[in-house]
Structure 1
Amino acid sequence: MNNRSFSILSFTGKMKVLHLSWMAFFITFLVWFNFAPLLEMVKTSLGLNKEQITTLLILNVALTIPARVLIGMFTDKYGPRIVYTLLLVICSIPCFMFALADSFLQAAIARFLLGFIGAGFVIGIRLVSEWFPHNELGTAEGIYGGWGNFGSAAAAFSLPTVALWFGGEDGWRYAIGLTGIICLLFSVVFYRNVSDTPKGSTYFKPKHLSGIEVTSVSDFFLLLLMKVPMYAALALLAWKLSPNGVNVLSSNLVYSVYIGLVLLYLYEVKQLWKINKTVFEHDVAPIHQYKFKQVAILNVLYFATFGSELAVVSMLPLFFLDTFSLSPVVAGMVASAYAFMNLMSRPGGGWISDKFGRKPTLLILTAGLAAGYFLMGQIGSEWPVWLAVVAAMACSFFVQAGEGAVFATVPLIKRRMTGQIAGMTGAYGNVGAVVYLTVLSFVSYQTFFFVIAGTAVLGFLVLLVMEEPKGQIAEVNDDGSVTLIDVSS
């Protein structure tokens, strides 16, 4: 492990890897969220209706749930350097496709495929964990997540200006295309300047690529249970495209999707059985055991934190516009205060975890998250706008610091499976967004915030049975020797 001092202004060694990692993540979010700021321009240029625009927004996130799981597996197997590079290269293609689209169908295919780039986040989690010791890991992962996540805000602020600078009806095409070029160029920079581990360190790989390993019978059944919500979220997305939603897909096609998801789940159960059936035959040696309940708890917490962030960022401008009768421009600027907190909140959550422990930090931040959303549920037109903004920013701190604390813990569970664990946890964030936005379509803004607060309370309760990562985790080298990796002091 590279133990040179942690200096944010340095661009050598582990700090160089950290900076290049958050830049790669930043670019993936810049590309992933390059549509929303240019929505009106795209709508006019392609002659789309409101229903078609809604469909494009849904398609933009549909593929991210399975993509995060797959990318996590590939990262553990082939290493972050190759996987991040290929992701940037491959996803620049649908980005260019969207920039060149001249029909709704072409735009829809491009946005669906671009959902894959939302999985980039998972890769850096494994890469950063290889370069930083446990006592700096939370801070490093927080910087990676917080600064990279700001790519979505950067898209909102910069791309409309770029489109206007190019001018004309096709200005949006140049702005979108430019993000694809940035994606492609940075893939070269990343590949030439990053290595998977510090010199002399071993990159531990999972025994199986097709699924997560568990080390007890009860964990096997818990894993099967935790897979269900991811398939349910995809079914929910299909329902939103059905005649009961935006009416893009026929009922027969949607039923076919449902059947396909059930068959896919059963196939995954079969694969997980092949990987883990030995736990039914004999006990795993204590040195190699880990508790999958730790992963399940982190999944629930990321559902409540990142899931709510994605949902709230999507609806907050409209909330301020409707509640306080603001103009769309002012409402958007006021709502952006929520996203801006990412720059410091997520690194702050990771830093607090490093200093005061993973479980205590998560308990405090989750309680704050619940209180924050309960407070936002009280906001009404009688409130001063400035006070509503302060409430949103305070809530945002706990949400994003909670995200940082979650991923300060993920790499400490089982090193060789960090990508797979991060992929599943990251996918739960998208599952949360789908669920929360679906709830919003049926209830008032106030009830929406109360529902999120309720899930945060659930997260707090399951946290009570979480165990603080302690001691060391064991990984086996190719020659059979065992390496012990510190996860606490």
Structure 2
Amino acid sequence: MSTPAVAERDPQLKGQLKYVIMAACASMIGFWGWTMIGPLAKYYTETYGLTEGQRSLLIAMPVIVGSIARIPVGALTDRYGGRIMFTIMLIFTGSMVLVTGLVGQMGNFNLLLIAAFFLGIGGSIFAVGIPFSAAWFEPHRKGLATGIFGMGMVGTACAAFFNPRMLNAFGYFPTHLIMACVALTYAVIVWIFIRDSPVMKARTPEPVVPKIINVSQKLITWQLCFIYAVGFGAFVAFSNFLSTYTQKIYDFDPVAGGTFAAMFAVCAVIARPFGGVAADKFGGKNTTILVFIAMAVLGFFVAQAPASTTVNTVLFIALALCVGFSTGTLYGWLGKACRPQDTGTISGLVSAAGGLGGYFPPLIMGAVFTDYGDYFWGIMFFVGACVVSVLVSLWMENDRQKAALAA
């Protein structure tokens, strides 16, 4: 009895794991630069005398810009390939981290917001890696490929864990200088050692704007966008805001709060490849529905803000695992629902929605805390979004059937 789906490997894709891991490292550095500001929010609040609203706006600014920028970056990756786009994005991110470090010492909040705006473009590196990674793996293993690449999300954990410690050890500007040097050095490494999949190189370039318009007319694109906005949005929002949350609710100091946020991000990152593998094996629709039900239940209990920090920690670890798993299942689903040559464009739109999903929660949480003195209704908003995601998933076609976008 033969098992071709398991045994078959494309010989022209030799070295696939190495290149996807290198892409994940590029994403990790890009995400670290993208989320430089959130873990240092207490520093900015004390230095600039920020209100809760200003603090939330500063944290959210890079998130929304990085989200919107993923749309053209994904389409450009389809056209020019990952090697060129990774190099450009890392150079830009490193430069803007350095600019943010310089501006942050000037005491001008408006200038800092402008720097945060351009720093946010670094978050669009995610839209480079999805088509790059998917092109390196066979169709029946695309969920695994995007799951491995998605582990680059650990960059947010690196920022949450290391930035407050680096600030204490080296000072504000040296922290940014170190990160900028890391990004610029890795840009050189990528340019020299990484290469695009032969599958991606063989594609015929298509005009960027018409391609974006074409895929945006598909219903399934927007259905996937909404679901990912909730899943990845939760990852971005909690990774950026948990430090503030734990300081407000449990009186953690900034280092402990950053460690807690890093723990959440690491757990989510670990779970992501398993979500991709589950989507390959059981279907993206089935796994997505189950994991979003679990997220809604866990979110409800988190909203109660249990007095025990141990219970709170267990709940957030479980929630982080589900959030990471959900992002893996969604991209495993997407990999089978679109034409290979459209992967970058569609993933740009979907990942943009995910980033936008992370933009609004910090603003909502800040507004809720200002009005009520806690975060209950802000987290319940997330619970409601999970429920709606389940309903949207039930509405969609099963991804084990003919792909809707390939028609």
- TM tier, shorter chain? 0.7 to 0.9
**1:117 equivalenced with 2:122 (yes/no):** yes
2:57 and 2:375 map into 1 onto residues whose CA distance is 22
Return the match for 1:65 from 56, 64, 67: 67
User: Which amino acid letter does the alignment assign opposite residue 354 of structure 2?
Assistant: G
Is residue 147–residue 274 contact of structure 2 (8 Å, CA) maintained in 1? Answer: yes
1:211-263 superposed Cα distances (whole Å, 9 cap, x missing partner): 42548xxxx7xx4xxxxxxxxxxxxxxxxxxxxxxxxxxxxxxxxxxxxxxxx
Return the match for 2:160 from 156, 161, 178: 156
Return the match for 1:387 from 311, 314, 327: 311
Q: What is aligned with 2:269?
A: 343
Q: What is aligned with 1:242?
A: none
**1:459 equivalenced with 2:384 (yes/no):** no
- How far residue 57 of structure 1 moved from its aligned partner, in angstroms, is 2.6
Percent identity over paired residues? 25
Q: Measured at CA, do residues 85 and 461 of structure 1 come closer, stay the same or move farther in structure 2, by a change above 3 Å?
A: same
Is residue 75–residue 419 contact of structure 1 (8 Å, CA) maintained in 2? Answer: yes
1:282-310 superposed Cα distances (whole Å, 9 cap, x missing partner): xxxxxxxxxx2221221111111111222
1:423-476 superposed Cα distances (whole Å, 9 cap, x missing partner): 11111112222332333234342222221111111111111122233577799x
Q: What is aligned with 1:128?
A: 133
User: Which amino acid letter does the alignment assign opposite residue 179 of structure 1?
Assistant: M
Deviates more, 1:13-22 or 1:403-412: 403-412
Is residue 228–residue 350 contact of structure 2 (8 Å, CA) maintained in 1? Answer: yes
1:251-285 superposed Cα distances (whole Å, 9 cap, x missing partner): xxxxxxxxxxxxxxxxxxxxxxxxxxxxxxxxxxx
Q: What is aligned with 1:19?
A: 21
Is residue 235–residue 268 contact of structure 2 (8 Å, CA) maintained in 1? Answer: no
Q: Measured at CA, do residues 211 and 35 of structure 1 come closer, stay the same or move farther in structure 2, by a change above 3 Å?
A: same
Q: What is aligned with 2:79?
A: 77
Q: What is aligned with 1:469?
A: 399
Structure 2, unaligned runs of 5 or more: 1-6, 369-373
Is residue 126–residue 411 contact of structure 1 (8 Å, CA) maintained in 2? Answer: no
Q: Measured at CA, do residues 327 and 96 of structure 1 come closer, stay the same or move farther in structure 2, by a change above 3 Å?
A: closer
User: Which amino acid letter does the alignment assign opposite residue 159 of structure 1?
Assistant: N
Deviates more, 1:400-409 or 1:99-108: 99-108
Is residue 42–residue 172 contact of structure 1 (8 Å, CA) maintained in 2? Answer: no
Q: What is aligned with 2:91?
A: 89
2:327 and 2:24 map into 1 onto residues whose CA distance is 15
Query: What is the TM-score when the length of structure 1 is the normalising length?
Result: 0.72
User: Which amino acid letter does the alignment assign opposite residue 122 of structure 1?
Assistant: A
Q: Secondary structure at the match of 1:430?
A: helix
**1:202 equivalenced with 2:202 (yes/no):** yes
The list of structure 1 runs, each at least 4 consecutive aligned residues, that deviate by more than 6 angstroms after superposition, is: 471-475
Is residue 125–residue 411 contact of structure 1 (8 Å, CA) maintained in 2? Answer: no
Q: Measured at CA, do residues 183 and 212 of structure 1 come closer, stay the same or move farther in structure 2, by a change above 3 Å?
A: same
**1:440 equivalenced with 2:370 (yes/no):** no
Q: Measured at CA, do residues 360 and 53 of structure 1 come closer, stay the same or move farther in structure 2, by a change above 3 Å?
A: closer
Q: What is aligned with 2:342?
A: 417
Q: What is aligned with 1:137?
A: 142
Larger radius of gyration: 1
Is residue 34–residue 93 contact of structure 2 (8 Å, CA) maintained in 1? Answer: no
**1:400 equivalenced with 2:324 (yes/no):** yes
Is residue 33–residue 152 contact of structure 1 (8 Å, CA) maintained in 2? Answer: yes
1:149 and 1:158 map into 2 onto residues whose CA distance is 15
- How far residue 331 of structure 1 moved from its aligned partner, in angstroms, is 4.2
User: Which amino acid letter does the alignment assign opposite residue 457 of structure 1?
Assistant: V
Structure 1, unaligned runs of 5 or more: 6-11, 224-291, 476-484
Q: Secondary structure at the match of 2:304?
A: coil
Q: Measured at CA, do residues 318 and 106 of structure 1 come closer, stay the same or move farther in structure 2, by a change above 3 Å?
A: closer
Q: What is aligned with 2:233?
A: 307
1:307-365 superposed Cα distances (whole Å, 9 cap, x missing partner): 12222233333433444444454444344432221232111111111121121111111
Q: Measured at CA, do residues 124 and 37 of structure 1 come closer, stay the same or move farther in structure 2, by a change above 3 Å?
A: same
- How far residue 207 of structure 1 moved from its aligned partner, in angstroms, is 4.8
Q: What is aligned with 1:268?
A: none
Is residue 64–residue 356 contact of structure 2 (8 Å, CA) maintained in 1? Answer: no
2:247 and 2:89 map into 1 onto residues whose CA distance is 37
Q: Measured at CA, do residues 108 and 435 of structure 1 come closer, stay the same or move farther in structure 2, by a change above 3 Å?
A: closer
Q: Secondary structure at the match of 2:395?
A: coil
Larger helix percent: 2
Deviates more, 1:361-370 or 1:34-43: 34-43
2:318 and 2:404 map into 1 onto residues whose CA distance is 40
Q: Measured at CA, do residues 98 and 407 of structure 1 come closer, stay the same or move farther in structure 2, by a change above 3 Å?
A: same
Is residue 377–residue 445 contact of structure 1 (8 Å, CA) maintained in 2? Answer: yes
Spell out the pairing of 1:122-271 with structure 2 (5 A cutoff): 122-145=127-150, 147-165=151-169, 167=170, 171-198=171-198, 202-214=202-214, 223=217
Q: Measured at CA, do residues 410 and 71 of structure 1 come closer, stay the same or move farther in structure 2, by a change above 3 Å?
A: same
Is residue 82–residue 191 contact of structure 1 (8 Å, CA) maintained in 2? Answer: yes
Spell out the pairing of 1:277-288 with structure 2 (5 A cutoff): none
1:97 and 1:357 map into 2 onto residues whose CA distance is 44
1:382-428 superposed Cα distances (whole Å, 9 cap, x missing partner): xx221111111111111110011111122321221211111111111
Q: What is aligned with 1:333?
A: 259
2:176 and 2:349 map into 1 onto residues whose CA distance is 29
2:318 and 2:288 map into 1 onto residues whose CA distance is 16
- How far residue 154 of structure 1 moved from its aligned partner, in angstroms, is 1.0
User: Which amino acid letter does the alignment assign opposite residue 322 of structure 2?
Assistant: F
- How far residue 14 of structure 1 moved from its aligned partner, in angstroms, is 0.2
1:349 and 1:446 map into 2 onto residues whose CA distance is 28
Q: Measured at CA, do residues 396 and 58 of structure 1 come closer, stay the same or move farther in structure 2, by a change above 3 Å?
A: closer
**1:367 equivalenced with 2:297 (yes/no):** no
Q: Measured at CA, do residues 60 and 474 of structure 1 come closer, stay the same or move farther in structure 2, by a change above 3 Å?
A: closer
RMSD: 3.0
Is residue 373–residue 395 contact of structure 1 (8 Å, CA) maintained in 2? Answer: yes
